[in-house]
Each structure stands twice: as C-alpha cells, then as structure tokens.
Amino acid sequence: MKLIPFENTWPYEKMGEDIYIEECPYCRETNVLTNMKLEHLEQAKDSIKTRVVMPCCHATMIVADADDDYFWTTERLR
C-alpha cells in the first residue's frame, strides 16, 4: 500500500454520532457538521474510500483512510 503524505490529511472531531470538521479545507467555513455517518467513518478506518460532501460549499472530499484524529484523503489539503 502506498503511504499517504501528511499534506493529504485533515483533522475531524466526533461528538456523539456527529462528525465535525473545525474548518472546511475548501471554503474555510468553521465548525462544519458533515453528512458522514458513523458506519461510513468505520468503513474509512478500514481503508474503504468514502466520499464526504461539504454542506457549506458542496465540495467533495474523498477519504481514502481514517484514524481517530485525521481523514487521510486522495488530494493535498494543506
């Protein structure tokens, strides 16, 4: 498996069953509640590509992997 560079990561927070991003990497909106469900987060943690559409600007983030703190995406975000 090819390693994903840290530039392709974005932090997220899980609060209850909700998944938040502190700042959207595309439009810079703050405290964004994503449409991602816990089952999709678990799939991402299993390295199943998961699509997250940002409700603030409708940009699409493809999550290739996830851990407890970061989404590891297919594009450079930093």
- Fill in the amino acid letter for 31: N
Q: What is the pLDDT of residue 63?
A: 97
Q: How far apart are CA 48 and CA 25, in angstroms?
A: 21
Domain extent, residue 18, equals: 7-73
Is 64 part of any domain? yes
Is 2 part of any domain? no
Categorize the per-residue pLDDT at 16 as very low, low, confident or very high, splitting at 50, 70 and 90.
very high
Categorize the per-residue pLDDT at 2 as very low, low, confident or very high, splitting at 50, 70 and 90.
low
- To the nearest whole number, what is the mean pLDDT of the chain? 94
Is 61 part of any domain? yes
Is 19 part of any domain? yes
> What total of structural domains would you count in the chain?
1
Q: What is the pLDDT of residue 4?
A: 80
Q: 33: which 2 tokens?
A: 């509640």
Exposed, middle or buried, 69 (CB in 10 Å: 0-12/13-18/19+)?
A: exposed
Is 28 part of any domain? yes
Beta-bridged to residue 53, according to DSSP, are 60
Is 1 part of any domain? no
